[in-house]
Amino acid sequence: MELQPGGRRARTGAGQAGAGQAGVRQAGAPLARVTLQDVADQAGVSLSTASRVVNEGSRRVGPHLADRVTKAVADLGYMANLQARAVATGQSTMMGVIVHDIADPYFSSIAAGLIEVSHAGGLLAIVSSTAAGGAGELEYVSLMRAQRARSVVLVGSRSADTAATAALRAEVGAFTRDGGRAVCVGQDLLGIDTILPGNAEGARALAGALVALGHREFAVLAGPDGLVTAVDRVAGFEAGLAAWSVSLSPRRVIHGAFTRDGGYQAMSAILAAGGTRPDCVFAVNDVMAVGALARLRADGLAVPGDIAVAGFDDITTLRDIYPPLTTVRLPLKQMGEMAASLVLQEADQPRVIPVPGEVILRDSTLPRPGRG
């Protein structure tokens, strides 16, 4: 059963069980890797003819020979070597998907949509998970270039570090110049097709809604300040408050990781800061909001009784938490699907597709009694 490394191995000829068939197999019958040449030999036709039958459509082959080839393929359990095909045609069907953290529901939802549509479109998704903002994205784009992937999708916030973004942009440029398609789900900073979630607008609308509910003293769990998504959401929220003449002290904007623990710690910092407790806390994503809720519960504070909490994203898995979380819904899975569509359509020049967020008011921000 061991693989013989080099050289030509003896064929076992006909009479092998077809692959994919359930059933008995003689142990100890070494099965060499079967190539198209083997199929051609077995069918008694030339390599070219065999190739034409396998790639139906390239040119017609007489039904007689075609049948012989088809049978040989089945008998031998032949399976085309896609790598070799890719080399020969210069075309691959791979689509690289680069996300910041596949275990984060934000990314896995987008990835799910992406995988589904791209697979339907005949592309094979390669999902890579890499920390945000680091050199990982650049490395992966470069790897995709080496793999001659047909396309690459960068999912997640761009970095606020302009040098890093420029380097990534250059690498992506090299990729597209080699004929690949590149799409980003995030911000339009790479000069490629972009799915642009309405982070600022959504946060702005949320701020308005919260003010309308009677909240006045806000705090923000702001996420990493190196990520444009976080920055945009905070800025949008501030703008929304300003539009209603509600002020937000910079001391009440606490940065932290885009994670549950990041939210927990930022919430701690706000509680520890002293002064009057805020009415309402805006966590720039749902996962951080969950951390904040945990922190508040640890202090015995009721939500929304003592303090209101809002998030962003409307993560599916968190739609049933208690108290139900006010948030801004992004159609994550659809965003992945849209990105895949962009990949599949060629376009002359970069398109930017905005995706609006929708404010979803739930119990975690019930109106402040006596005000709203």
Partner DNA sequence: CGATGCGTGGAAAGGGCTTTCCCAGATTAG
Partner DNA sequence: CTAATCTGGGAAAGCCCTTTCCACGCATCG
By a kind-dependent CB cut-off of 5 to 8 A, residue 62 interacts, out of DNA, a second copy, none, with DNA
Residue whose structure tokens are 């599949």: 344
Report the sign of the C-alpha dihedral through residues 78, 79, 83, 86, in that order: positive
Give 97: exposed, middle or buried? Use CB within 10 Å, 0-12, 13-18, 19+: buried
Residues 96-115 interacting with a second copy (rule: CB under 8 A): 101-105, 108-109, 111-112, 115
Q: How far is the CB of 149 from DNA (least distance, A)?
A: 14
Residues 304-363 interacting with a second copy (rule: CB under 8 A): 315-323, 333
- Per-position DSSP letters for 13-79, written without gaps between them: -S-PPPTT--S---TT---PPP-HHHHHHHHTS-HHHHHHHHTTTSS---HHHHHHHHHHHHHHT--
Instruction: Kindly tell me which residue out of 65, 71, 77, 191 binds a second copy, with binding defined by CB under 8 A.
Output: 77
Neighbours of 249 (CB within 10 A): 12
Q: Which residues bind DNA (CB under 7 A)?
A: 6-8, 33, 35-37, 45-49, 51-52, 54-55, 58-62, 64-66, 78-81, 84-85, 87-90
Fill in the per-residue mask, 120 to 139: x = in contact with a second copy (CB under 8 A), - = not in contact: ----xxxxxx--------x-
Residue whose structure tokens are 């210069």: 90
Provide the strand spans (E) within 137-188. Answer: 151-155, 181-185
Helix, strand or coil, per DSSP, at residue 366: coil
Q: How far is the CB of 80 from a second copy (least distance, A)?
A: 6
Stretch binding a second copy (CB under 8 A), from 153-161, 165-173, 193-201, 247-255: 165-173
By a kind-dependent CB cut-off of 5 to 8 A, residue 163 interacts, out of a second copy, DNA, none, with a second copy
Q: How far is the CB of 22 from a second copy (least distance, A)?
A: 4
By a kind-dependent CB cut-off of 5 to 8 A, residue 19 interacts, out of DNA, a second copy, none, with a second copy
Structure tokens at 67: 């049948």
